[in-house]
Homo-oligomer: A and B are copies of this chain.
Amino acid sequence: MKARGRRVWIDPRVAQTPDAEALRTQRGPLRFRELAVRARRVAGYLHARGVRPGGVVAALLPGGTAFAEWLHGIDRCGATLLPLNLRLATGELAFQLRDAGAGWLVHDAPFAERARRAARDLDVCLVPADAPAETDAVEPPFVRGDAPLALLYTSGTTGRAKGVELGSESFFHGALASALHMGALPTDRWLACLPLYHVGGLAILLRCCLYGIPAVLHERFDPADLSRAVDREGVTLVSLVPTMLAHWLDERDGRPVPPSLRAVLLGGAAASEGLLERAHRLGVPVLPTYGLTEAASQVATRIPGDSMRPLGGRLRPLPGTELRIAREDGRAAAPEEAGEIRVRGPTLMRGYRRLPGATEAALAGGWLRTGDIGVLDAEGLLQVLDRRDDLIVSGGENVYPAEVEAVLADHPGVGEVAVGAREDPEYGERPVAWIVAATRTPSPEELRGFCRERLAGYKVPVAFEFVAELPRSATGKLLRRALNARPA
């Protein structure tokens, strides 16, 4: 078979339905024809400034039309988008820019100062998002089908953030599989109130482009705005994390949702049975989802027909995605036996950027080792028992304890440190730090300030507990579960 080039997402779509609505923001609608014009302008601008296939363009942009224009413009010139988490601290931004080898950093006006600080010591060209004006259009260059379209940073147990390289093909196969799994209609409208710099939000933009339907973008989650979109603006699909769903159910205060709402894709963290039960009573068609950045988002999702059975629902792998459960020794677990969830299929990442060792470890044999624990039943349906046991999911954001621990360990008052999770009715979980003090005991205020300078706000522990020693196994391994179980 011939090697095919990387697809350009916007071109076939604008050829197909130029006048269909591509985006709807609080500032109004944008048609595919207009989005394509802007994407071409971005591509021409970047090309004139030397951006070529393989180049990495970072973006510090809120979730509006500019984000979509730059995504499609970067795609069109064959480059790679590094969407930066807007909540990261300067040092974290600088790390990702350096590690990714980003040559350009696009920013919206309100982020100009943060962009300047993050790029201070780097060879990065700063580009205001509204810089591209009329310019000569360039034809998309030939790019290999597996060239990365996006680079998304995620941390692991080591605390070092790793760049997940996702090819266009990963998003393409994910989009097709999702359409077959949940259904797709020409009349769909998909609302994203999740950050677009996460894989879930980014996937919505690309899927809507492939399907030819509008992506409805809310820059921030607001339950009343969500209700208006669902009740009056014909939104049929919504992606939420459990914290958002809980707030939304509060806001609705018993009002049922219209039948036009086809599905609420619920991801990011495990949802409690209580929350699913509440949603069920209001007739909200919730589809719990298990997804991973390394698999371009959705891996397994409850199917629509099952969504109204609130309890005991299990997740069905998306078509094309294979799951297995591995025992500690790597062999396949029996049905209903718990083990590590492993994933194979056309949506998997190419690997971690410039980390062949970590990539090999994660993708050995073509199966992604997720580190998460689950079971498959005899029918092949997945139940996720536990996310990677060190991962803290706080309001849809992942907090990796090792990353927070690495920061705190740098404080002179900290001898040993361990970060665990505390249950939180609003955020699901919040990080908490257990500390064995060094010669002097620092105050919680001092540690909080130290963290705030170096970490995104959602990663800063909500409490600092001082202990005489940390619970460890006989071999000296930190027992995080024992930590989390402690009253704090």
Binding site for B on A (CB under 8 A): 1, 3-4, 12-13, 15-18, 145-146, 176, 179-188, 210-212, 303-305, 316-317, 319-320, 379-380
Contact = CB atoms under 8 A, between A and B. Distances in A.
Contacts of A317: 16
Contacts of A211: 180
Contact of A176 (B3, B176, B303): B176
Given A16-B319, A186-B304, A319-B16, A210 B180 contact: yes
Contact of A12 (B12, B15, B212, B319): B319
Nearest to A1: B3
20 contacts: A1-B1, A1-B3, A1-B4, A12-B320, A13-B319, A15-B380, A16-B316, A16-B317, A16-B319, A17-B303, A17-B316, A18-B379, A176-B176, A180-B210, A183-B184, A183-B185, A183-B187, A183-B188, A186-B303, A210-B319
B212 A146 contact: no
Nearest to A15: B380
B305 A186 contact: yes
B182 A179 contact: no
Interface centre among A182, A303, A319 (most CB of B within 10 A): A319
A180 B183 contact: no
Contacts of A179: 179-180, 184
Nearest to A3: B1
Contacts of A303: 17, 186
Interface centre among A145, A183, A187, A303 (most CB of B within 10 A): A183
B212 A180 contact: yes
A194 B317 CA distance: 33
Contacts of A16: 316-317, 319, 380
Contacts of A316: 16-17
- Nearest first, the 10 A-B pairs at minimum CB distance are A183-B185, A183-B186, A186-B304, A1-B3, A176-B176, A16-B319, A184-B184, A15-B380, A183-B184, A180-B211
Given A17-B316, A145-B1, A316-B17, A182 B176 contact: no
Nearest to A19: B379
A300 to B, nearest CB: 11
Interface centre among A15, A146, A305 (most CB of B within 10 A): A15
A316 B18 CA distance: 12
B176 A186 contact: no
Nearest to A318: B16
Nearest to A380: B15
Nearest to A180: B211
Nearest to A305: B186
Given A16-B380, A183-B185, A186-B303, 8 more contacts: A12-B320, A13-B319, A176-B176, A179-B179, A179-B180, A184-B185, A186-B304, A186-B305
